[in-house]
């Protein structure tokens, strides 16, 4: 606005806002360095570790769901078009490979995460170890799906087959692994080999992956929530301060 001598100056509120903006940046840095923000970052990292695995499982299951449609599946299973069937198996192998790699990554990343951030918290690390043992130890195929990653990486692609079930009222397709070629590998852990020897010739890999993924999803949510409980007061303090910061930011920048 013009002064009495004709010069222009900032409006009073604009000048005040300009003065406040550097302070807001300092405040923002303080919020980002707070214990509450750090706790939320830890919780988000747990979610991201789990997402890598679950998103690959979803892609695998998406293909399984797609072949339940006869309009999509029947041309693939036409004996006059063997290449289409071979291509389907190649895609199944690719997606299973991605699931198993992500499964192993989830285990290793989460173990390193716990050691890096909670090695001085024997309560949380003790609960974590006990829950790993109870949740995954109670699921008999756990050792198999974990060792299957090593089989695939260091030995060969597993021999996969599709299995179709027809009736007058239904049409269903699933994918299986053959037990005999799996047992040719000498790298199975003893417990896993014993489990594998007790299975039928057709290993229901879709069901095994689905069961493991459900346990992993529930476990990851538990860990996410445990971190939230550990830092509950710090998170509340951060969220209160962040709300006040956002109001000031909107006032200063016209939000």
> Any residues with CB less than 8 A from the CB of 200 and at least 6 apart, and which?
179
- Is 220 part of any domain? yes
More confident: 249 or 103 = 103
Residue 22 lies in a domain: yes
Task: Confirm whether 178 is domain-assigned.
Answer: yes
pLDDT at 7: 41
Condensed to tens digits (0 to 9), the pLDDT of residues 46-101 reads: 999 999 999 999 999 999 999 999 999 999 999 998 999 999 999 999 999 999 99
d(CA 224, CA 124): 12
The two tokens of residue 214 are 């459900």
Residue 69, classified by CB atoms within 10 Å of its CB into exposed (0-12), middle (13-18) or buried (19+), is: exposed
CA-nearest of 155, 142, 58 to 107 is 142
> Backbone phi, then psi, for 5, in 5-degree steps?
-95, 10
2 pLDDT band (50/70/90 cuts)? very low
- The pLDDT, as a whole number, for residue 153 is 94
Q: What whole-number distance in Å separates Cα of residue 127 and Cα of residue 118? A: 12
pLDDT at 246 over 60: yes
Model confidence pLDDT, tens digit, residues 134-172: 999 999 999 999 999 999 999 999 988 999 888 778 899
Considering the domain boundaries, does residue 120 fall inside one? yes
Q: Please report, rounded to a whole number, the percentage of residues in the chain having pLDDT higher than 90.
A: 79
Q: Can you say whether the dihedral through the CA atoms of 205, 96, 165, 65 is positive or negative?
A: positive
Please report whether residue 235 resides in a domain: yes
The strand order across the sheet containing 202-203 reads 160-166, 171-178, 202-203
pLDDT score recorded for residue 91 = 96
Band the pLDDT of 15: cuts 50, 70, 90. Answer: very low
Q: Residue 223 sits in which domain range?
A: 12-253
This prediction's pTM: 0.87
155, 149 Cβ separation under 8 angstroms:
no
Using pLDDT thresholds of 50, 70 and 90, give the confidence band for residue 9.
very low
Tokens 């747990």 map to which residue?
46
Q: Measuring CA to CA, which residue among 68, 50, 80, 27 is closest to residue 218? A: 50
CA gap 52, 44 in Å, rounded? 13
Q: Quick one: angle between helices 205-230 and 35-66, nearest 10?
A: 170
Mean residue pLDDT across the chain: 91
Whether 73 is in a domain gets the answer yes
How many separate domains does the chain show?
Answer: 1
The whole-angstrom separation of Cα 137 and Cα 142 is 7
Please state the separation of Cα 25 from the chain's center in Å.
Answer: 33
d(C-alpha 70, C-alpha 173), whole Å: 10
Question: What local confidence, expressed as pLDDT, does residue 25 receive?
Answer: 87
DSSP calls for 173-224: EEEEEEHHHHHT-S-S-HHHHHHHHTS-SEE-HHHHHHHHHHHHHHHHHHHH
Residue 168 has a pLDDT of 73
- pLDDT category at 104 given cuts 50, 70, 90 is very high
Question: Residue 34: its pLDDT value, please?
Answer: 94
């Amino acid at each position: 606005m013009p002064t009495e001598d004709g010069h222009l100056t900032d409006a009073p509120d604009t000048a005040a806002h300009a003065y406040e903006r550097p302070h807001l940046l300092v405040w923002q840095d303080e919020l980002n360095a707070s214990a509450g923000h750090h706790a939320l970052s830890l919780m988000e990292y747990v979610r991201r570790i789990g997402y890598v695995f679950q998103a690959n499982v979803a892609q695998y299951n998406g293909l399984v769901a797609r072949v339940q449609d006869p309009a999509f599946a029947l041309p693939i299973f036409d004996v006059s078009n063997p290449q289409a069937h071979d291509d389907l198996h190649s895609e199944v192998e690719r997606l299973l490979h991605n699931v198993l790699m992500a499964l192993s990554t989830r285990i290793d990343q989460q173990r390193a995460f716990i050691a890096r951030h909670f090695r001085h918290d024997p309560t949380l690390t003790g609960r974590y170890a006990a829950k790993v043992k109870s949740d995954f130890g109670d699921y008999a195929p756990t050792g198999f799906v974990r060792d299957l990653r090593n089989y695939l990486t260091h030995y060969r692609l597993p021999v996969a087959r599709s299995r179709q079930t027809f009736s007058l009222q239904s049409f269903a397709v699933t994918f299986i692994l053959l037990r005999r070629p799996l047992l040719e590998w000498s790298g199975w852990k003893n417990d896993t080999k014993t489990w594998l020897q007790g299975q039928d010739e057709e290993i229901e890999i879709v069901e095994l992956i689905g069961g493991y993924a459900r346990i992993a999803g529930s476990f990851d949510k538990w860990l996410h929530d445990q971190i939230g409980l550990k830092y509950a007061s710090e998170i509340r303090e951060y969220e209160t301060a962040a709300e006040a910061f956002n109001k000031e930011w909107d006032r200063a920048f016209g939000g």
